[in-house]
Amino acid sequence: MRSTLAAGLLIAASLSTAAAAGEIGRIKSVAGAAQVVRGAAVTPAAPGQLLQASDVLRTGPDGRLGITFVDNSRFAVGPNSSIALSTFEFDDTTHAGRSLTTVNRGSLAIVSGQIAHENKDTMRVRTPTSVLAARGTRFVVVVP
Amino acid sequence: MTRRIGLALCLALGACATAKVGLLPGEGGAPAGAVAVFDPASGAERGQLNQPDTETSLGGGPVRPRPLTGAYDALLAAMPAPAQVFTLYFIEGTTQLSPESVPTLDALRHAITSTSDVQITGHTDTTGDAATNDRLSLDRATQVREVLVADGLPVSNARVTGRGSRELRVQTGPGVSEPANRRVEVIVR
């Protein structure tokens, strides 16, 4: 079980840069300074903006973001944050999928969605010292 | 050694907070569920939070739940509302909306905004063959999109799919006319 999990984490890490292009969610609300980093391109965050796997969300001292994902999960991003949407795979038909979100810095509130609901420990959040798995729920992660 | 320097630094700077995770009560009275914490290198589970309004530091040790500290009202104020689901019903064998679904269509029109993510999925009952039902379910979903587009709503890029009779709302055998299964489900995020 443990080695399976470790292998899963490795796969998640290795796929994070090769995730398929395509809409995984969108920005619903923006307050203060916030950007979306996609590869070398940095754009100011705007309501309605589409997000892809591997995008990085950044907020300034007064920045906040509200985000919805295609599996019905939702994020609220607080100020001074840097959060990468490292992996996001979701099958509309079967509701199977997996996601890995990396909180490098800042605060993130999460309401989990169909990915977490369908299969155990498939919605993950990585911090500099830990990996978290949502087991169906609403939680906050703070990385100072 | 490194740890000691780190401690001295954080004492000097007054910024000794470590990363943490907190479990909130479920939304709208839903159960809180749980959050599990794993070691990133070994994958070993360090424990989990399974009581609402508790937190644990993510410093590397085992999970030690304690009462939640800090205020998250401002953070949670940025959380988008849950997805809304609208179900529209159709007259047998047609893409014609049933009269009782007209109010639902009106509610749907009012729910869609310029930032909405809209997903339209058509379904049929089990009368008719699979190919016919696949086409009819897609036609129903497409029809709903066209009605919304004609109203000037920003759904021309909405995802439209037809599921035929694969996803019955009311389980029936083959060849059964069931109004509850002749439908289009619209998710508005």
Nearest CB to A64 within list B72, B78, B159 = B78
Can you tell me the mean pLDDT for B110-125? 94
Characterize the bridge pairing of strands A97-111 and A123-126. Answer: parallel
Given CA atoms B120, A124, B23, A34 in this order, what sign does their dihedral have? negative
A6-10, A61-65, A123-127: segment of lowest average pLDDT:
A6-10
A-B Cβ pairs (cutoff 8 Å, strict): 168
CA nearest to B31 within chain A: A137
Query: Using a CB-CB distance cutoff of 8 angstroms, which residues of chain A are in contact with residue B84?
Result: none
Can you tell me the mean pLDDT for B125-140? 96
For residues A141 and A120, what is the distance between their CA atoms, to the nearest angstrom? 19
CA nearest to A122 within chain B: B36
Summarised one tens digit per residue, pLDDT across range A81-111 is 999 999 999 987 788 899 999 999 999 999 9
Nearest CB to A76 within list B22, B46, B76 = B76
Can you tell me the mean pLDDT for B136-154? 95
A14-28, A93-107, B87-101, B112-126: segment of lowest average pLDDT:
A14-28
Query: Using a CB-CB distance cutoff of 8 angstroms, which residues of chain B are in contact with residue A48?
Result: 114-115
Q: Closest by alpha carbon to B63, among B45, B80, B75, B77?
A: B45
Can you tell me the mean pLDDT for B66-87? 95
CA nearest to A65 within chain B: B78
Given CA atoms A85, A91, A92, A98 in this order, what sign does their dihedral have? negative
First to last CA, chain A: 32
The complex scores an ipTM of 0.83
Nearest CB to B38 within list A130, A139, A144 = A130
Cα dist from B178 to B88, B121, B125, B181, whole Å: 14, 18, 6, 6
Q: Which residues are CB-neighbours of B69 under 8 A, at least 6 positions away?
A: B55
For residues A49 and A111, what is the distance between their CA atoms, to the nearest angstrom? 20
Task: Assess whether pLDDT exceeds 90 at residue B145.
Answer: yes
Task: Assess whether pLDDT exceeds 90 at residue A12.
Answer: no
The 3-state DSSP composition of chain B as helix, strand, coil percent (nearest 5) reads: 30, 25, 45
Q: Confidence class of residue B29 from pLDDT cuts 50, 70 and 90?
A: confident
pLDDT for the residue numbered A9: 44
Between B10 and A43, the more confident residue is: A43
Mean pLDDT taken over chain A: 87
pLDDT for the residue numbered B28: 84
Decide if B37 and A109 are in contact by the 8 Å CB cutoff: no
pLDDT for the residue numbered A93: 76
- Angstroms from A87 CA to nearest CA on chain B: 16
For residues B38 and A94, what is the distance between their CA atoms, to the nearest angstrom? 27
